[in-house]
């Protein structure tokens, strides 16, 4: 009975994630920013890797160009089933795999763009380093790695960091609530999905950090690190070190 309930909950969260992204109501719109970067920088028969694709973020990355192929990797089977629904075939491919263990099928296979949207904080710091190092090896010489994620200010102790994470989470939820209308059950599932991400923060299952620390990690494996503020909109420069969602575009791999 417990396993059946857990399976139902996972399925509901998958549907919530699917609705949250496909309806275009995420406050940060990191999916659209990634799509813009790929559209302007990947041409011809380009290859894109979408790691941790989730259940709905996949859609904006498909259909950008008839010749661009998107290979999406997701560990959660419920998420993957919804991500591939109506999109598999042609140049779009899907694979269930642990992102920390995943690697291209051939040693010489590389990508024009790799996308990781709002997922890096779900990995432990040591695994984040391993993941960035691995991905830096899978990028073509003129390719790039696009990463969006949540960040908090640089703080001195764990208690202040926890408070900052909660403030960030609830500000994000407030922005999301402004974007939705509870017209059907999917809206409720979408909110349930968002609440589940906050619960994971409360339980210490995620690892949000500061921009300063993360830029140091990115700079270890890439020579060029671009930073863009996505949410909230009050950030005025790429040097702003406050809370929010930021995108980093990493180029010129050192590995």
pLDDT in tens, 102-154: 999 998 999 999 999 999 999 999 999 999 999 999 999 999 999 999 999 98
Percent of the residues in the chain that have a pLDDT greater than 70, as a whole number? 77
- For 215, the 3-state DSSP assignment is helix
Helix (H, G, I), strand (E, B), or coil: what is residue 28? Answer: coil
The more confident residue out of 179 and 65 is 179
- Phi, psi dihedrals of residue 64, rounded to the nearest 5°: -70, -40
Q: Please, is 215 exposed, middle or buried when counting C-beta atoms within 10 Å of its C-beta (0-12, 13-18, 19+)?
A: middle
The H or E element containing residue 71 is strand 69-74
Calculate mean pLDDT across residues 159-176. 87
- Predicted confidence band of residue 88 (pLDDT cuts 50, 70, 90): low
Nearest alpha-carbon partner for 213 in 145, 153, 135? 153
pLDDT recorded at residue 124: 96
pLDDT, one tens digit per residue, over 210-247 is 999 999 999 999 999 999 999 997 555 444 457 899 99
Whole-number pLDDT of residue 2: 37
Q: For residues 178 and 176, what is the distance between their CA atoms, to the nearest angstrom?
A: 5
The domain segmentation of the chain, as residue ranges, is 2-149+202-253
pTM: 0.87
Whats the size of the chain, residue-wise? 255
Q: Of 3.30.1280.10, 3.10.20.30, 3.40.50.150, 3.20.20.80, which CATH number belongs to 2-149+202-253?
A: 3.40.50.150
- Answer whether residue 1 shows pLDDT above 60: no
User: Token digits for 142?
Assistant: 């003129």
Give yes or no for residue 97 having a pLDDT over 80.
yes
Asked if the bond preceding 232 is cis, omega within 30° of 0, the reply is yes
Contact 225, 132 (CB under 8 A): no
Q: How many CB atoms lie within 10 A of CB 142?
A: 10
């Amino acid at each position: 009975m417990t396993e059946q309930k857990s399976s139902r909950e996972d399925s509901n969260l998958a549907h919530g994630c699917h609705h949250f992204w496909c309806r275009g109501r995420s406050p940060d719109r990191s999916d659209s920013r990634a799509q813009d970067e790929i559209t302007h920088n990947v041409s011809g028969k380009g290859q894109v890797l979408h790691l941790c694709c989730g259940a709905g973020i996949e859609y904006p990355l498909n259909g950008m160009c008839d010749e661009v192929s998107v290979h999406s990797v997701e560990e959660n089977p419920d998420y993957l089933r919804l991500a591939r629904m109506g999109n598999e075939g042609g140049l779009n491919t899907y694979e269930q795999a642990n992102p920390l263990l995943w690697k291209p099928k051939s040693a010489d296979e590389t990508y024009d763009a790799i996308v990781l949207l709002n997922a890096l904080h779900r990995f432990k710091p040591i695994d984040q380093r391993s993941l960035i190092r691995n991905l830096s090896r899978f990028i073509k010489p003129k390719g790039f790695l696009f990463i969006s994620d949540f960040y908090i200010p640089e703080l001195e102790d764990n208690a202040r960091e926890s408070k900052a994470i909660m403030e960030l989470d609830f500000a994000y939820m407030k922005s999301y609530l402004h974007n939705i209308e509870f017209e059907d059950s999917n809206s409720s599932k979408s909110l349930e999905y968002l609440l589940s991400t906050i619960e994971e923060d409360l339980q210490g299952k995620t690892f949000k950090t500061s921009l300063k620390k993360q830029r140091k990690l990115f700079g270890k494996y890439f020579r060029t690190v671009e930073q863009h503020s996505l949410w909230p909109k009050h950030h005025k420069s790429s040097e702003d070190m406050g809370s929010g969602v930021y995108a980093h575009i990493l180029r010129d791999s050192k590995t």
